[in-house]
Structures are given as structure tokens and as C-alpha cells.
Amino acid sequence: MSFPIHRPRRLRHNKVIRNMVRETLLTPNDFIYPMFVTFGKGVRKKISSMPGCAQLSVDEAVKDAQHAYKLGIPAIILFGIPEHKDEKGTEAYNAKGIVQKAIKAIKDKVPDLVVITDVCMCEYMSHGHCGVIKSGKILNDPTLELLAKEALSHAKAGVDMVAPSDMMDGRIMAIRDILDGNGFEDIPIMSYAAKYASAFYSPFREAAESTPAFGDRRSYQMDPANRREAMKEVALDIEEGADIVMVKPALSYMDIISDVKDSFDVPVAAYNVSGEYSMVKAAAKLGWIDEMKVVMEILTSLKRAGADIILTYHAVDAARELNK
């Protein structure tokens, strides 16, 4: 039978009923808040392409971490902007590096906040690529050693979770081996498993000061045209020891999020990346959209697609909205 017996509008009649039958529930507990940390004191350097975001000195990062935690956001992810860069990315695994300092300071003041670190070399290399370079080629296997050292240095500083984003083959196994071999077998790995070579990353490169000095990252990040390849990448990372797998970017890749959720029995994260964030901010500034309504719709759609965890620069504003 159809109309008039069936009237779907009955369950949309008022807000209470709509809330009762809502299929997807978004909460602040779904969010990870990305933060950029840099050297200095009292530093809050605005990122022009990402309104509302800034490079933060450690003392300012602690304040923002405390604020996020009070709003119910359970975790942050740290990206470092070092004082010095070189062709070996030595600041990435320096025990006194900026991320290592930030981990200790934040865990000291907000011990129950989960601190995650991005594990990659691009912010620390003078050339801006995610790995060791020889004769213009990004070398896979020599990079694994540096990534493993970086992850271990974060573990020694007190991190709760590491998140390798470089897309080198075998990096999950290399990191799992070095963590387990040094008594950090309880630290989980959230792998950027299906990370695409996307144009949506442009604002991030300003924020992290990680624009490649030459070429692009298409030889190690995934082709945006490929869907089946994502399943292979995710399966390999799980086999190597990933505890959580991530799809990045999120908004134009909801088919991949859904595929991964349906195919693998592990938590799925989605990174609502800088370009997605900045487009919303730009349209809102021009008065073309209602910012918070669009933000909440985007984040809800990502969770509906299958994301258990959402990394988003909107996290603080969205948590504030959800807490009303």
C-alpha cells in the first residue's frame, strides 16, 4: 500500500519526533581537532587561507587544547612547524623538537585529552616532500627508518596515538615494529590509509609550511580517480598493524568512506581537510551560505557515510553548536 496509508511526513511533524527517529547522531565525541604548533612564546599566527586557525606556540596550544577538551572534544592531532629544516628532517625525531615539547606540555595540563601526532617528514624537510630524495626521486625504504624514528620520539614524549600520513609503502609495519620493540606496544596507529593526491590540501600547505619545492606528491599519494585501489591500501595497512584507518580528503570521497566501512572491521576516520574548511569559510564570509548549518550538514553526512571519527578544523565551532 502507498498513499494515503503511508505518510512519511508523520515522522517529520515536529522537532521532538524528528530527533527520536534520527538515524545518524553527531556528537563532539566524534571529533579530532587538528592543531599547528610552532616555536616561540605567546605566538598565535593567523593562517590567512584558513580563517579561525593559527600556528600556535606551545603555551597557546595548551590553552586551545584545554578549551577543546572542555567542549567535549576527546582528541587533538598535532602538526609541527620546526625552527630549522634540512634534507634529513632531523627536527622530526629530535627529542626536544616542537611536537615533542607540545606533547609533554599538553599531557601535563590536560592528561585525559588524547594527543595524536601526525607522523610525516614534509614539514621538516627543506624540500617539502614526505621522504628522502635522491636524484629528484622520493625514496621509499630509506624514508621508513626516519618515520619510525619520528614515531618513537613521539612515543617517548608521551603521545597517546601516532598517525602516519606519508603514504610510503610499508610504513605501518616499520612503525609498529619500532614501537613494539621499545615497549610501546599499547600505542595505537591511525593510518592515513587511503590518502589521495588532492587539490583540497592547498591551505594546509600554507599552515604547515610544507609546499614541495619541486614537483608534486602524485608518485606516493593516490590518484583521485581510483576507488578499488583504496581497498588494497587499507587492507595492507591493517595487515601491517593499523588500528584505525583514515580516508583523506573526506567530502569528495564519501564513496571511499562507505566502501571502507562496509569492507573492514576496524574504526574508520575521515579527514575533513583544509580546502573543504576554507571553502565553507569563504562562502560564509560572502554571505552565500549559513556557515554553521552547512558545517553541521557536512559533518553529519560524513558520519552517515560511515566515518566513526572525523578530523576537522570545524571541531570547536561544531562542538559549541552541539552543546547548545
Q: Is 195 a catalytic residue?
A: yes
Cα 274 to chain centroid, rounded: 10
Q: How many helices (H) and strands (E) does the chain have?
A: 11, 12
Catalytic residue of the set 248, 261, 281, 303: 248
Backbone angle region of 267, left / alpha / beta, with phi > 0 → left and psi within -120 to 50 → alpha: beta
Give 230-239's long-range contacts (Cβ < 8 A, gap of 24+).
230/193, 230/194, 230/256, 230/259, 230/260, 231/259, 231/260, 231/263, 233/193, 233/194, 234/193, 234/194, 234/260, 234/263, 234/264, 235/264, 236/169, 236/172, 237/172, 237/191, 237/193, 238/193, 238/264, 238/266
The 3-state DSSP class for residue 157 equals helix
Q: Is 248 a catalytic residue?
A: yes
C-alpha span between 23 and 17 (Å, rounded): 12
Task: Name the amino acid, one letter, at 132.
Answer: V
Catalytic residue of the set 195, 261, 281, 303: 195
Catalytic positions, written as ranges? 195, 248
